[in-house]
Amino acid sequence: MGTSTNGEICYGIICDEGAEFPWDERGEIEEWWLLDVLKYKSPFELYDHKGQYINGVVPSKDKLSEYYDHRHSFLKANPLPVELVNYCSLDYPIYILAVPGSIKRASRGYPIVFDPAKLTVSFDQVQALLDFCEDHGIEVGEAGWVLSSYWG
């Protein structure tokens, strides 16, 4: 087992080492987006406040599917307008806030061919990225195409 080293390119904003984000306390940006920003409520509860199944009862596969299908449908209808790109390492993450869909990666030993002319983002995508940062008090620098690496 080795360490992966990946090349990455995306349209985004480089965040400084040690940058603090509003989702840090929750841990996961998607959880923060769904629960804190969008106030998502599942149609029923499966987990208690400790993250364990309620009363220790494992739900049926159908109930689990219903629970997660509802969640995924809600997220699809209300997508997170940014994607995190780690430009450092697994143990020491530093992030780029990127336009979703703009990210291309190549893993060590597996080069990819791509057309640089297809590296495009729309004005609306860039504006959504900037609005997201402003709406959530994230101080950022300039947005643009970023070439980075990741050591995982």
pTM of the predicted model as reported, rounded to 2 decimal places = 0.86
d(CA 43, CA 67): 7
**What percentage of the chain exceeds 90 in pLDDT?**
82
| CB proximity list for 82: less than 8 A, separation 6 or greater | 12, 29, 97, 98, 99, 100, 129, 132
Output the average pLDDT for the chain.
Answer: 93
Residues 77-86, mean pLDDT to the nearest whole number: 96
Q: What is the pLDDT of residues 42-52, one digit of tens each?
A: 999 999 888 89
> Which H or E run includes 125?
helix 123-135
Indicate the pLDDT class of residue 5, thresholds 50, 70 and 90: confident
